[in-house]
Amino acid sequence: MTKVKGQRKGNTMEEKKSISDKIKELDMAVDWFYSDEFSLDTATEKYKSAIKLAKEIETDLDSLKNEITVIQKDFTKE
């Protein structure tokens, strides 16, 4: 495959979790605050984690680039 110039992936350290995964995690955290499991004792800790996750998502959204590759197989010669 050929990588298209200038479209390399940005943040390789975050490859384990995609932005979508992180957004889903944040949505679940938000759901917890409105569930029966909500308790003020643990809410502060969860709130801090959610803020950290939100910052990560914002950073990812700003920095992550798409990786566009053109398959080397020549379909025009089929």
Q: Which of 2, 22, 3 is nearest to 66 (CA)?
A: 3
- Residue 28 lies near other proteins (rule: CB under 8 A): no
- CA–CA separation, 4 and 24 (whole Å): 30
In the complex, the smallest distance separating the C-beta of residue 30 from other proteins, rounded to whole angstroms, is: 5
- Residue 49 lies near other proteins (rule: CB under 8 A): no
Q: Which of 25, 30, 33 is nearest to 57 (CA)?
A: 25
- CA–CA separation, 70 and 2 (whole Å): 5
Interface mask (CB under 8 A) for other proteins, residues 29-48, using x and -? xx--xx---x-x--xx-xx-
- Residue 1 lies near other proteins (rule: CB under 8 A): yes
- CA–CA separation, 62 and 14 (whole Å): 13
Interacting residues with other proteins (CB under 8 A): 1, 7, 9-10, 18-21, 23-24, 26-27, 29-30, 33-34, 38, 40, 43-44, 46-47, 50-51, 54, 57-58, 60-71, 73-76, 78
